């Protein structure tokens, strides 16, 4: 959920370096299909990240490498429309497993989007905080972009093992400043922690990614806001129309 549209010439992004190297040239030539037409801009969420992160990793460290790799993968998942344009994964082998559920292939993950992939639940319908099966890629991103107009930042807290199997702890946070599913914003920080296990190939492309976290940590903050009427929801969403487009899962 991130990146306002601008011309092909974009400012460098130190967390997603390759986005503005050969990829910018490829985008200019029309060889990469971007969901919103152009490469994304991450200025707003980078700002949020830099103001709120709890760790500053040394340049070139394993922690920084893992953090930037995940940010780059999220960028591709949110903003590219074809798996063949991805550089962060091995598309033939890639599988995403969330909280022990059945794995999703690269194409399946791209089709549903990162929010739906991460928030799908096997709970009974009446107990679901969020019904991923009823959301599209676009509607899921719209819902979280509305709730977090400044973006949803992501950082690595610890890296426990290095390649080829990388295990890490992460933190995800944002400020609930827009409506979410009929709930008024509280303007409080919403955050959750999780664990990841990522198997990579010799080129550091992800093959298997396992994510473990408690969705209740996220929804406890988002459902705390009081219910609001439909006209007020539309008015608040309209007020966010000119804000920077942010990514869903991140970062």
Q: Is 215 helix (H, G, I), strand (E, B) or coil?
A: helix
H-helix or E-strand spanning residue 60:
none
pLDDT score for 219: 94
pLDDT score for 31: 84
**Mean pLDDT for the stretch of residues 212-231:** 89
The number of domains in the chain is 1
Domain assignment present for 240: no
- Band (pLDDT 50/70/90 cuts) for residue 124 is confident
pLDDT score for 5: 38
Domain assignment present for 116: yes
Name which of 2-16, 23-37, 156-170, 231-245 the model is least confident about. 231-245
Domain assignment present for 248: no
Domain assignment present for 200: yes
Burial of 229 by CB count in 10 Å (0-12 exposed, 13-18 middle, 19+ buried)?
A: exposed
- Band (pLDDT 50/70/90 cuts) for residue 122 is confident
- Band (pLDDT 50/70/90 cuts) for residue 25 is low
**Mean pLDDT for the stretch of residues 120-129:** 81
Domain CATH number, residue 134: 3.10.450.50
Measured CA to CA, the distance from residue 123 to residue 125 in angstroms comes to 6
**Mean pLDDT for the stretch of residues 133-157:** 96
Domain assignment present for 56: yes
Domain assignment present for 218: yes
H-helix or E-strand spanning residue 58:
none
Domain containing 139 equals 17-223
Domain assignment present for 1: no
pLDDT surpassing 70 at residue 230: no
CA nearest neighbour of 175 among 241, 121, 240, 109 = 240
């Amino acid at each position: 959920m991130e990146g306002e549209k601008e011309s092909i010439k974009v400012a460098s992004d130190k967390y997603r370096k390759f986005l503005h190297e050969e990829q910018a040239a490829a985008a200019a030539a029309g060889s990469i299909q971007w969901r919103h037409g152009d490469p994304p801009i991450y200025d707003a969420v980078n700002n949020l990240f830099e103001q709120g992160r709890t760790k500053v990793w040394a340049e070139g460290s394993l922690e920084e490498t893992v953090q930037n790799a995940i940010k780059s993968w999220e960028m591709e998942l949110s903003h590219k429309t074809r798996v063949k344009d991805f550089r962060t994964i091995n598309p033939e082998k890639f599988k995403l497993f969330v909280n022990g559920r059945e794995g999703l292939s690269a194409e399946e993950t791209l089709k549903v989007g990162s929010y739906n992939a991460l928030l799908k639940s096997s709970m009974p319908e009446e107990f679901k905080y969020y019904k991923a099966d009823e959301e599209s890629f676009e509607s899921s991103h719209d819902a979280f972009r509305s709730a977090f107009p400044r973006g949803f930042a992501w950082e690595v807290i610890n890296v426990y093992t290095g390649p080829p199997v990388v295990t890490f702890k992460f933190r995800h946070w944002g400020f609930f400043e827009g409506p979410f599913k009929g709930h008024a914003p509280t303007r409080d920080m919403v955050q959750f922690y999780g664990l990841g296990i990522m198997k990579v190939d010799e080129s550091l492309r992800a093959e298997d990614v396992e994510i473990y976290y408690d969705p209740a940590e996220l929804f406890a903050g988002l459902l705390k806001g009081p219910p609001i009427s439909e006209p007020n929801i539309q008015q608040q969403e309209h007020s966010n129309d000119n804000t920077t487009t942010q990514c869903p899962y991140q970062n």
